[in-house]
Amino acid sequence: MKWELVDLDANFISGVVPPKGAKDSFHIVISDDEVLTIDDVHPWRPLNQDEWRWLGVESIADHYLGHIHGIPIYANEIDPDANNPVGYEFDTLWAFLNQVEQPVFYLVGRAKQIVEWHRNHHFCGQCGNVTESSNFDRSRKCPSCKQMFYPRLSPSIIVLINKGEDILLAKNANSRTNFYSTLAGFVEPGESIEETVHREVMEEVGIRVKNLKYFTSQSWPFPNSLMLGFHAEYESGDIVLQPDEIADAQWFHYTDLPHRPTMVAISGWLINDFIRRVSQ
């Protein structure tokens, strides 16, 4: 099957145990958290089985991700010190934003996160012994102390706050460009996601919000977040910036917005959803 004919949204089935006797396969090759790309092939696609065999490199670990019509898809980690194969180069996951369709971006993000998890939990964090991969689920287990290690997900909130027809957008303190987005932050132990929204908004810009409405979620592999999106309304307070996190935050009318997120990110979805509803 040609990759160009694959419909990931409709036909990708995730899994842990690969099918037996598959005559073809797809391979996402990762080295030092970067993804292998084929020179002059656009848009990006994974290697097919023949290309993977002819690549001439040995894998450190192979991870079955799932299948398309019985054709398995693997994430293959290779040694970062190995020479780059001729005709190929490695690129960061950031480079895939806006360059591939969203289902492909999610698949490559899944591959990167699983490779990273496997590498970081090769040794038990409790007793230091080498861990072993499970045969039936996505986990590693320490044979000595029985500690289990599953791929880590970090739940995060992201919220678009409106005051009438104005929305609050902020520029991250570490941003190198004049880029504004919605507020976001990680959920802390013991919090509900709603409590996280109120705390993060107060910490970052010093205001109170009300009428929280859950919007949708997004897997965001930078590095392993699950973004939970909300709309909220302004309640009270003046903007007071948390300088370590926020360089600037302002109210913008929805018809006069600054440089803002693309539709690849949930922040862009939130903004577009608000504009759609308020302009009806």
* C-alpha pair distances (Å), 67 with each of 10, 20, 25: 12, 12, 9
pLDDT value, residue 116: 95
d(CA 39, CA 24): 22
Could you read off the pLDDT tens digit of each residue along the chain, which spans 280 residues? Answer: 889 889 999 999 999 999 888 889 999 999 999 999 999 889 999 999 999 999 989 999 999 999 999 999 999 999 988 888 889 999 999 999 888 999 999 999 999 999 999 999 999 999 999 999 998 999 999 999 999 999 999 999 999 999 999 999 999 998 777 889 999 999 999 999 999 999 999 999 999 999 999 999 999 998 899 999 999 999 999 999 999 999 999 999 999 999 887 778 999 999 999 999 999 8
Identify whether 143 is preceded by a cis peptide bond (ω within 30 of 0).
no
Tell me which residue of 77, 63, 89 sits closest to 31, measured CA to CA: 77
Domains and CATH numbers, the chain: 3-120 (3.90.79), 154-278 (3.90.79.10)
How many Å apart are CA 68 and CA 107, to the nearest integer? 12
pLDDT at 263: 78
The answer to whether the CB of 274 falls within 8 A of the CB of 160 is yes
Structure tokens at 163: 């005051």
According to the model, what pLDDT value does residue 176 have?
73
Q: With helix as H, strand as E and coil as C, how does the chain read? A: CCHHHCCHHHHEEECCCCCCCCCCCEEEEEECCEEEEECCCCCCCCEEHHHHHHCCCCEEEEEEEEEECCEEEEEEEECCCCCCCCCEEEECHHHHCCCCCHHHHHHHHHHHHHHHHHHHCCECCCCCCECEECCCCCCEECCCCCCEECCCCEEEEEEEEEECCEEEEEEECCCCCCCCECEEEECCCCCCHHHHHHHHHHHHHCCEEEEEEEEEEEEECCCCEEEEEEEEEEEECCCCCCCCCEEEEEEEECCCCCCCCCCCCHHHHHHHHHHHHHCC
